[in-house]
Structure 1
Amino acid sequence: MGMLTASERVLRLRQLLQERSLDAYLVPSEDAHSSEYVAVCDARRAFLSGFTGSAGTALVTRDAAYLFTDGRYFVQAGQELDGEVWELKKMGIDPPLEEFMGKVLPAGSVVGFDPETLSLAAYKRMHAVVRRSAISLAPVLGGNLVDMVWGEARPLPPASRVFVHPEAFAGESVLSKLQRVVQEMEKERVNWMVVCALDEVAWLLNLRGSDIQYNPVFLSYVVIKRIQSRSSMEPDTPSTAGHRSSTSTTGSSDPTAGSAVTLYTNADRMEPEALSTLDLIGVHILPYEAVFDDLQSEIDAGERVWIEPSRTNCRIGTSLGVPMLMQPQSGSAGIIEEGYGDRFLIKSSPIGLFKARKNPTELNGLRAAHVRDAVAVCRFLAHLERDLCERGVQLNEYEAAERLDALRAQQEHFVSPSFPTISSAGANAAIIHYRPTPEHCRPVTAAEIYLVDSGGQYLDGTTDITRTLHLGQPSKRERECFTRVLQGYIALERAVFPRGTTGQQLDVLARMYLWRVGLDFRHGTGHGVGCFLNVHEGPQMISFRASPHEAALEPGMTITNEPGYYEDNQFGMRFENVLLVRSVLDESQTGDRRPYYGFENITWVPADTRLLLLEMLNDDERQWLNAYHAAIRERLEPLLRDDACALAWLQRRCVPIEVR
């Protein structure tokens, strides 16, 4: 059987809706772990719709198909969707998905979804809105309907090797991490914690895999049971009577960690060192799919469970007995009550914050990885400029990306790119998450802007950098826009702020120079970056959008600073570095007795001054740029002495500009 067309895929899904008496079906981007990036076999929304961006939700009704996505992907979705089949809905412009369902679906409609791919938080949010229109959300059991459309062509689930991330890079033992988690469980007086986020599992157990391309994680869950001794139990905590022993299927306990820990993944793909390491500290391993039945059978009704609704899927919630997911009475189509009940602590996982606050070993690893990464990027940019401008070499976006990836692969501790390289020329640079292919790519020339956003996964850190350049004569419009982008970057990097400040409070600094002339960009300004983990990491962020999960910026956190500007079908530009949050003033130095924080830059690739209108920069901004370029030369010149082309390029690009 040949590949199905967009129309055929949707038609087959509609046939399944009719067979199951459903009026619509939701297809989120996420997998069972609420991952931003998913394994190929879990890319259901991309398969169904043809839209390959990382964010968006498809809604297929009996007579229409809609794709909701955010501003990063408006242009890309418009290009990839079959307009005869799909209608693009722009988040932030069109009504939200849950409100839209109430407008297009009649009262009494039943909207199906796969309970493994919808989080508890998303379910609760949508249900609260659609119920006003007498619309029900119904979990569809027995398999994902998109998988049924996909059939035998669907890729097999991944089974990458799972290996130890050594403590020499991680900076903390697994037992120490477990101790900290159990201490938080004790503070909150909970008996169990279910860890669903793949990067949290990998960080907690000092393990890595490659089930999801560019993300060193593996499909898994971790369940932690806090072991209580009778002498330490609070009077009102549940009795230990009826608990399985620490040698049961809930895992063996370590007296130091005070917990029984079970990793749910397929043990046959784990390296011997990983197996022996977990065995040594008493972590039990059970099959991935066993988690659902075990949660249902192992946890007593009186025990408290810590869950993070935004990272916990509805099937896990059902196994735990979350009240709002229990089977309805008298045939109603969804919910018998709102909420979670007293059994559940609804709170962000402490692991997310622990992971975000990098320890000294991780911070030093990140600094070192970014220096090596800068060597690769500078070599790439230098050779690109030489080949295009001096040698007349013809190169397209895809070939340029391949060049950069190959140069990164030469660096010590390199594992893989951290995301698909965004290599975009001219109008393609306006597509924020553009990805060239051999079949669809544009020449890179000196006649137009070239934007390259890329990163690497190294054993000691993860990198993410964007540079925009013009090898010819940029227009005054392009130079003005880029200057405003760089001014916003400088303002944010130089910020000093009190403890408790969130990224949302700082976001305006990156936009204010664009705002002064009525310009803006349709994406967040910054995201956390993992340490040999996901390139997008929370809970810290810098964005104009409020998020209930956002954490205040703290020393040890990583954050990107990446303002940009995009004119559809014309050009795009972005300047991105990775920053570390650092202490600037302690309590004794401030009037309000609070510590104040700032940023440390760790990305070392020069800005293209040919894209600047220097007369727009004040002396402080000029001095910042000169100091930045001097710091780059100091770090990179010794590492580029074996490459005359790259060394000469670096010296040209870092020539100081005049300070008035």
Structure 2
Amino acid sequence: MVIALNETQHGRPIGVKVREIRETLIKKKADAIIFSALDDIMWLMNIRGFDIPYNPLAFSIAFVTNSELHLFIDPTKIDKQVADHLNLGLVTVHSYDSANQFLQAWHEKNKSLQGYKVFVPNSTNYSLASIFGKENLLVAMSPIQMMKAVKNSVEMAGMRASHIRDSAALIEFLHWLEVEVEAGHDVDEISAAEKVRHFRAQQPGFVDLSFSTISASGEHAALPHYKYDAETGKAKIVKGGVYLVDSGGQYHDGTTDVTRTVVIGQGDDQFSFHNTLVLRGHIENAMAKFPKGIQGVRLDTLSRQALWEQGLDFGHGTGHGVGHFLSVHEGPCGISYRVSAGDEGLQAGMVLTIEPGYYLPGKYGIRIENCYELVEDAEHSAFLRFKELTLVPIQLTLIKKNLLEKKHVAWLNEYHATVLRVVGKYLLKTGKEAVYLWLEKQCVQLDEQSYDLWLTCV
């Protein structure tokens, strides 16, 4: 089935989006544009589908001319509510398998027009693009990529709200995990991942996970994209051992992605050393202020500097864009040592992750990931800064005090104060008093002057 978003969820009607696309066609001197990237189409039509696991997408094709709007999709997936929604947007619906025939007929009818051009985004498959003939193509990045990357006020409000609920779910999981492991109960990677989903599924608006949970203990955590199976997933999460959980949720009002690396009990010195380097890199990036429009590649070094000083590094990007109840990995912008294709620069209203890591083969891996929205800096209007969306505590007992400066401790204190104030309120409102008390201990304020690690207080 396909569902339609209402105005309290999308914040921008189909007609308004199409008008902007038609303005692009005029500027590009093109007669039409075809869309085959599913997240582009879902965003344009204010609908979501369930054809692909973890991604709220439906197989479809969209075609926009200066006067018409066509959607090719399996009609059996559209009920009366969705049909009325599309009719209101002046969308003509066709069966999915009629797309090639329709587009071929349209091309034959219009190809003799002077200056005839069809805008074909560079994500379009060859079968569709070849219909229009090479000489009639205008190939470039889809204009929707930037349009949906910059969230409107309704979308951003949904992202904020969904991240509060999602953070509460992950906090509840971390509390459960500590209680279970401390009690000596068997918890393996599979059961832990199932429990993460269980706590998310209890949250209002939950639809699905946003990707397959990375639930990795010990040496498995050293594999950044580890995926457990029936055999490897039996690995236990034990006291004193490293556990990394990278997970996210799809909600009707937003998409989340968060990673925490924890040790039940006390981590060893080597692990705490590496963990603090990763944390320092995360904070340096999260504290950054930077000019509007710069590419994310210019920020990537911030998350690596502390590691580089020790001759260490990690082999993945620092961050990626996140969709609004769409793909958890959303282009065109990100934070990486590689320039993203079509990256037009960072803008207020985007949602990005910051997720530096370090991976010691055969022993453990570390990643600390939050989602952030980009907002205008209050002091310098031409600059942007990060504002946290993910509100999950960072384990304080795994930090080596001599590796942090006062500014890092101040950031951590402010972050944890926000976590306790915002998510703590939500936990109490939903009757999770025991989880709230656990959260209080995780969010204890540190001494910014002496950097004492308050271990007796945790």
Fold match by TM threshold 0.5 = yes
Q: Would you say the 8 A contact 1:296–1:321 is kept in 2?
A: no
Correspondences of 1:237-276 after superposition (within 5 Å)? 259-276=67-84
Are 1:171 and 2:15 counterparts? no
Partner of 2:412: 625
CA distance in 2, matches of 1:400, 1:186: 53
- Cα deviation for residue 282 of structure 1 reads 2.4
Partner of 2:453: none
Residue identity matched to 2:375: R
- Cα deviation for residue 472 of structure 1 reads 2.6
CA distance in 1, matches of 2:268, 2:325: 39
Query: SS in structure 1 opposite 2:372?
Result: strand
**1:433 aligned to 217, 222, 225, which one?**
225
Query: SS in structure 1 opposite 2:232?
Result: coil
CA distance in 2, matches of 1:353, 1:548: 12
Partner of 1:248: none
**1:321 aligned to 117, 120, 133, which one?**
133
Partner of 1:420: 212
CA distance in 2, matches of 1:558, 1:198: 19
Are 1:654 and 2:456 counterparts? no
Are 1:597 and 2:387 counterparts? no
Partner of 2:424: 637
Partner of 2:191: 399
CA distance in 2, matches of 1:505, 1:436: 34
Could you tell which deviates more after superposition, 216-225 or 263-272? 263-272
Are 1:502 and 2:334 counterparts? no
Q: Would you say the 8 A contact 2:42–2:57 is kept in 1?
A: yes
CA distance in 2, matches of 1:418, 1:167: 23
- Cα deviation for residue 655 of structure 1 reads 1.0
**1:296 aligned to 104, 118, 127, which one?**
104
Correspondences of 1:505-544 after superposition (within 5 Å)? 505-544=298-337
Query: SS in structure 1 opposite 2:333?
Result: strand
Alpha-carbon deviations, 1:482-503, whole Å to 9, x = none?
1111111111111111122110
Alpha-carbon deviations, 1:325-354, whole Å to 9, x = none?
xxxxxxxxxxxxxxxx4x322221111111
Query: SS in structure 2 opposite 1:176?
Result: helix
**1:306 aligned to 116, 119, 123, which one?**
119
Query: SS in structure 2 opposite 1:443?
Result: coil
Alpha-carbon deviations, 1:134-176, whole Å to 9, x = none?
xxxxxxxxxxxxxxxxxxxxxxxxxxx0110112111111111
Aligned residue pair count:
441
Query: SS in structure 2 opposite 1:485?
Result: helix
**1:563 aligned to 345, 348, 356, which one?**
356
Correspondences of 1:137-536 after superposition (within 5 Å)? 161-226=1-66, 259-299=67-107, 300-301=110-111, 302=113, 303-309=116-122, 311-322=123-134, 341=135, 343-389=136-182, 391-441=183-233, 442-536=235-329
Alpha-carbon deviations, 1:618-641, whole Å to 9, x = none?
111011111111111111222223
Residue identity matched to 1:387: E
- Structure 1: which 5+ residue stretches go unaligned? 1-160, 227-258, 323-340
Q: Would you say the 8 A contact 2:332–2:340 is kept in 1?
A: no
CA distance in 2, matches of 1:260, 1:506: 42
Alpha-carbon deviations, 1:371-390, whole Å to 9, x = none?
1111101111011101111x
CA distance in 2, matches of 1:370, 1:478: 29
- Cα deviation for residue 538 of structure 1 reads 0.8
Alpha-carbon deviations, 1:20-64, whole Å to 9, x = none?
xxxxxxxxxxxxxxxxxxxxxxxxxxxxxxxxxxxxxxxxxxxxx
- Cα deviation for residue 280 of structure 1 reads 3.2
Runs of 4+ in 1 over 4 A off after TM superposition: none
Correspondences of 1:104-143 after superposition (within 5 Å)? none
CA distance in 1, matches of 2:129, 2:12: 31
Q: Would you say the 8 A contact 2:332–2:341 is kept in 1?
A: no
Partner of 1:57: none
Residue identity matched to 1:404: V
- Cα deviation for residue 585 of structure 1 reads 5.3
CA distance in 2, matches of 1:317, 1:602: 39
Alpha-carbon deviations, 1:67-90, whole Å to 9, x = none?
xxxxxxxxxxxxxxxxxxxxxxxx
TM value normalised by structure 1: 0.65
Q: Would you say the 8 A contact 1:167–1:206 is kept in 2?
A: no
TM value normalised by structure 2: 0.94
Query: SS in structure 2 opposite 1:221?
Result: strand
Residue identity matched to 1:426: G
CA distance in 1, matches of 2:230, 2:142: 42
Q: Would you say the 8 A contact 1:214–1:417 is kept in 2?
A: yes
CA distance in 1, matches of 2:236, 2:437: 25
- Cα deviation for residue 200 of structure 1 reads 0.6
Query: SS in structure 1 opposite 2:275?
Result: helix
- Cα deviation for residue 547 of structure 1 reads 2.8
- Cα deviation for residue 275 of structure 1 reads 1.3
Q: Would you say the 8 A contact 1:195–1:221 is kept in 2?
A: yes
The structure with the largest alpha-carbon Rg is 1
Residue identity matched to 1:521: F
- Cα deviation for residue 316 of structure 1 reads 1.4
Could you tell which deviates more after superposition, 185-194 or 429-438? 429-438
CA distance in 2, matches of 1:483, 1:167: 44
Q: Would you say the 8 A contact 2:41–2:60 is kept in 1?
A: yes
Alpha-carbon deviations, 1:79-134, whole Å to 9, x = none?
xxxxxxxxxxxxxxxxxxxxxxxxxxxxxxxxxxxxxxxxxxxxxxxxxxxxxxxx
CA distance in 2, matches of 1:581, 1:433: 26
CA pair 640-280 structure 1, distance change in 2 beyond 3 A: closer
CA distance in 2, matches of 1:183, 1:318: 25
CA distance in 1, matches of 2:308, 2:373: 26
- Cα deviation for residue 304 of structure 1 reads 0.7
Query: SS in structure 2 opposite 1:452?
Result: strand
CA distance in 2, matches of 1:379, 1:438: 25
Could you tell which deviates more after superposition, 204-213 or 281-290? 281-290
- Cα deviation for residue 438 of structure 1 reads 3.6
Q: Whose RCO is larger (CA < 8 A, sep 6+)?
A: 2
Could you tell which deviates more after superposition, 541-550 or 423-432? 541-550
CA distance in 1, matches of 2:174, 2:419: 15
What percent of counterpart residues are identical? Answer: 37
Could you tell which deviates more after superposition, 483-492 or 433-442? 433-442
Residue identity matched to 1:304: K
CA distance in 2, matches of 1:531, 1:546: 23
Q: Would you say the 8 A contact 1:191–1:225 is kept in 2?
A: yes
CA distance in 2, matches of 1:476, 1:551: 42
- Cα deviation for residue 448 of structure 1 reads 1.2
